[in-house]
Amino acid sequence: MAATADENEATDETTAAPGPQAAERRRRPGRIAQAVSVFGELLITLGVLLGLFVVYSLWWTNVLADRKADRQADEVRRHWAQQKDSGPGALDTKDGIGFLHVPAMKNGTVLVEKGTGTDVLNDGVAGYYTDPVKATLPTTGKEGNFALAAHRDGHGAKFHNIDKLEKGDPIVFETRDDWYVYKVFAILPETSKYDIGVVDPIPKESGRKKPGHYITLTTCTPVYTSRYRYVVWGELVRVQKVDGKRTPPAELR
């Protein structure tokens, strides 16, 4: 049956396009969508900040530490050039006691200073232990363990490539008067950070049972963490006097 005029008017009213306010309500995102959008923006911002922090920690701190270590190294060599006396006491300066050369690590010349705290190691140097076990400096001529530490990542990362060392590789410590040449004889890829026995005068975990002239390199592992310690042991094979030209040992040429 045909619809009446009143019925047609009602149908037209119900199917007519919605007003501006209704369309605006449909276009406006709901609360959940707004929350998701804000959360996404926060995640992006956090990601950028974390990225900047990583760049700072793993790159910029290296730049700053290397600059400071280079200045300190220059001071040590200047100090050596001005010294006239000899003997173990001549090593101890406010800037450092000598230089470590480890060809396998490809880390150049590393200044060695006293102490293993962050206030020392953050300057891009290696430090010798004074606590909990005191390192024996090779210049004393006494048997013992010349135990050192350095950062693996950031702040110079001087021991970053410690895992490249193999048995038989040379480790050379340079002083004003002598070159001390060691050779790697044992490696411990992972041990507890509380394992102080690795720096004992006789590092029994290395397999040695008798006193000797040892050197120990320690750093954090795995890379980018400080959960465990990586340890390398070397033993002194010879001492070479420094000549007027400071000709390095054959192991460094």
Active site residues: 220
**Could you give the 3-state DSSP secondary structure of residue 233?**
strand
Q: Is 22 exposed, middle or buried (0-12, 13-18, 19+ CB in 10 A)?
A: exposed
CA 5 to chain centre: 87
Pick left, alpha or beta for residue 204 (phi over 0 → left; psi -120 to 50 → alpha; otherwise beta).
alpha
Q: Which residues contact 202 (CB under 8 A, 6 or more apart)?
A: 145, 208, 209, 210, 211, 212, 214
Q: Report the candidate in 44, 94, 92, 73 with the shortest Cα–Cα distance to residue 158.
A: 73
d(CA 152, CA 62): 11
**Would you say 180 and 141 are in contact if contact means Cβ atoms under 8 Å apart?**
no
CA 27 to chain centre: 53
**Torsion sign (Cα): 141, 149, 193, 230:** negative
Q: How do beta strands 213-221 and 144-149 pair?
A: parallel
